[in-house]
Structure 1
């Protein structure tokens, strides 16, 4: 870490690099591509041993699945539709042909309870269409508060599987402005698509950045291999990493940027996947099973999607945080017990391996994606403001209505590149 201060006595404006980009996720890749198209020479430093960030197609179980981002959201304007087309990679509509079943504590939920639950679920959109947020922002929990102590948690529980956060911590204004539209999937893997798109870029793996100095005639970036002085720097690491202080900034970030970070935090949408061989337990491939007995512990399972020998569970919020902090083996035992109750005790014998990409405890993510705290709905725009003319923070957190998506991160990376492309080389 001391190496980051070795430059304090330097007066030379000579640089080792043109623009340094920290992070090779979707935002970093997009920024590098845009800068290269503008005639610049970006270098990307990536802490992991792979590119893609939270867009990651996991092959560790044999059958591949997207352990992070899965959907090309708002496909009508998402840049990844065109990128996939250019790379001749197939996109498809999500298929729900395997059926949908709801459970309460491992047992099929009664039809009447299912109908009440479905009707209650729709209250979020109805309230957002009618509530007046002009005077002040509020949390989703407050927005739903008059539904009562029984219905409000049920209405909000769907956010655990979309936003990955408790309703009391979600800004209603920020949620209201998120873009919507059709969703597409990448049968060959969204993460693999993002990885392929990075071909030809100067990306240096296993280079976690420790410190950035930005108050001189250049920016100095200190990573595992040493220092790079550059004309400018784009930081695309997740909000969780910035808030954890994993990168030291000298001088510290401006008050407006620090305030923006204070108003954002990371959700905890989490997946756990199993390789399951043999019995299909009478289920049609692609069936979806939802455990909804306790709204705060809701978990959805994709059973044998596309006929693969794999089961994928999804959960979010504090439930997902506790599973992540418990570790892979405890999480496996807990979820296998739940599935054995839902589909039969033989499920235990059919499970052969587990994959648990716990983004919440991943030091290079610290969560799934950014969430605006109630009352801080302007934090995304504030975080995106250039710092000192040479430093920009970019990613899904700065994407406005495109936040929480790979497409939004890509648009934010391109915008950051535009902000720095005018710097004198």
Structure 2
């Protein structure tokens, strides 16, 4: 890490994708910048684990979504990254004691497409409603409802249909060889960053900004804040004066939802599922997981558990989420499958004090809160992060773009300054 300025022109709070993106742009414009990160590592909610399994495991963000619209996909192509572009499709579905036939699995895929189309169509209308209320009838409605939290991080009866409509979607979800978290870090070398440095207070009473940390008080002209809405809602950071009511209301309308992962590495001798296959496992109510096989064309699978059910398993204790995924494996592939499991691990994003969740969703009526959250405060505090993005929320490229946009706004306040924004070329 570079030497940390004590009184930089700009302080960036959070060394996740948004914070690193903002800092890179500001430094390229010749603006002295320091990043303060509460964790012992950079990356935030986009971090690659290279030690647990024999291949990389992205504990948070893992896909380049909507690749035709995704600037990170262009950077990955330009840098010659290994890209895994194969589509993911359902191959097995077990729902409430019943295994779907192959024809029924095809129909399940069709219902999933029809479901998202119906939600988008309803989201274009007013008044706003929940995704659950917008779903079409069909034989797979109950199980498909449980898959919504895996996309939105919130349950179907909590998530805004208008927010879904606003999202800019395009086909193509790629994995980056070596892990997306590692790729993001490689994009931003040499950023002056103070790790293990949580911010407890942001004072903007005066002409600049004062930030209180365990290492002391830092002062700056401007501050870019990239922490999650979970952290903002928790009160872990004191604001002096308090955030305006409209900001507080925006945070309340944009909870930081949950998507947890269970990594499962198989002995390569097990070949009953291959890269790109998905098995859904639903045992009733909101008890549901999806198992995706062959990450990075290896013998690693990932189980996804989200929303209320994922949170309940996390609160139950270490191993509960893994046990549910293994139960799903045995049900779908037979009891012998677990003999081939070499190692497992699971994430715990809802109880991680530095994130308090995975990514944001909007409550019904709250889709416009993203713009409010993104608004600059007193030309000194600038907000970034996936939750501030109306069309690319809940994504790594949304966080990336939000950081660049926040940097642009900082530069725009420098009246008479010659600095201009230098984006990472895409």
Which of residues 24, 36, 40 is equivalent to 1:33?
24
C-alpha deviation, 1:306, in angstroms: 4.2
User: Which whole-Å deviations, capped at 9, do the CAs of 1:176-227 have from their partners, x for residues lacking one?
Assistant: 0101113222122111101111201111111111111111111011122111
Aligned to 2:218: 228
Aligned to 2:423: none
Q: How many residues align?
A: 408
Aligned to 2:160: 171
Matches within 5 A, 1:59-74: 59=50, 60-74=52-66
**Are residues 31 and 268 of structure 1, via their aligned partners in 2, closer, same or farther at CA, if it must alter by over 3 Å?**
same
Aligned to 2:72: 80
Q: Is the 8 A contact 1:106 1:341 kept in 2?
A: no
Aligned to 2:424: none
1:265 and 2:255 are equivalent in the alignment: yes
Matches within 5 A, 1:307-386: 307-386=297-376
Matches within 5 A, 1:409-420: 409-420=399-410
1:54 and 2:45 are equivalent in the alignment: yes
Which of residues 14, 17, 20 is equivalent to 1:23?
14
C-alpha deviation, 1:161, in angstroms: 2.2
Aligned to 1:125: 116
C-alpha deviation, 1:297, in angstroms: 2.2
Matched position secondary structure for 2:34: strand
Aligned to 2:420: none
Q: Is the 8 A contact 1:231 1:423 kept in 2?
A: no
Unaligned segments of structure 2, at least 5 residues: 1-5, 418-426
1:43 and 2:49 are equivalent in the alignment: no
Unaligned segments of structure 1, at least 5 residues: 1-14
C-alpha deviation, 1:43, in angstroms: 0.3
**Are residues 323 and 371 of structure 1, via their aligned partners in 2, closer, same or farther at CA, if it must alter by over 3 Å?**
same
Matched position secondary structure for 2:391: helix
C-alpha deviation, 1:230, in angstroms: 0.6
Matched position secondary structure for 1:411: helix
**Are residues 107 and 417 of structure 1, via their aligned partners in 2, closer, same or farther at CA, if it must alter by over 3 Å?**
same
Which of residues 231, 234, 252 is equivalent to 2:242?
252
C-alpha deviation, 1:300, in angstroms: 1.4
Q: Is the 8 A contact 2:270 2:340 kept in 1?
A: no
Q: Is the 8 A contact 2:85 2:175 kept in 1?
A: yes
1:159 and 2:151 are equivalent in the alignment: no
C-alpha deviation, 1:329, in angstroms: 2.4
**Are residues 282 and 113 of structure 1, via their aligned partners in 2, closer, same or farther at CA, if it must alter by over 3 Å?**
closer
Q: Give distance in 2, aligned partners of 1:364 and 1:92.
A: 30
Q: Give distance in 2, aligned partners of 1:68 and 1:103.
A: 26
1:282 and 2:272 are equivalent in the alignment: yes
Q: Is the 8 A contact 1:213 1:220 kept in 2?
A: yes
Matched position secondary structure for 1:138: coil
Q: Give distance in 1, aligned partners of 2:69 and 2:281.
A: 33
Q: Give distance in 2, aligned partners of 1:186 and 1:106.
A: 36
C-alpha deviation, 1:81, in angstroms: 2.1
Instruction: Give the RMSD, CA atoms, in angstroms.
Output: 2.4
**Are residues 51 and 394 of structure 1, via their aligned partners in 2, closer, same or farther at CA, if it must alter by over 3 Å?**
same
Q: Is the 8 A contact 2:255 2:361 kept in 1?
A: yes
Aligned to 2:99: 108
User: Which whole-Å deviations, capped at 9, do the CAs of 1:53-108 have from their partners, x for residues lacking one?
Assistant: 111112222321222112211222322123324544233413449x7222235763
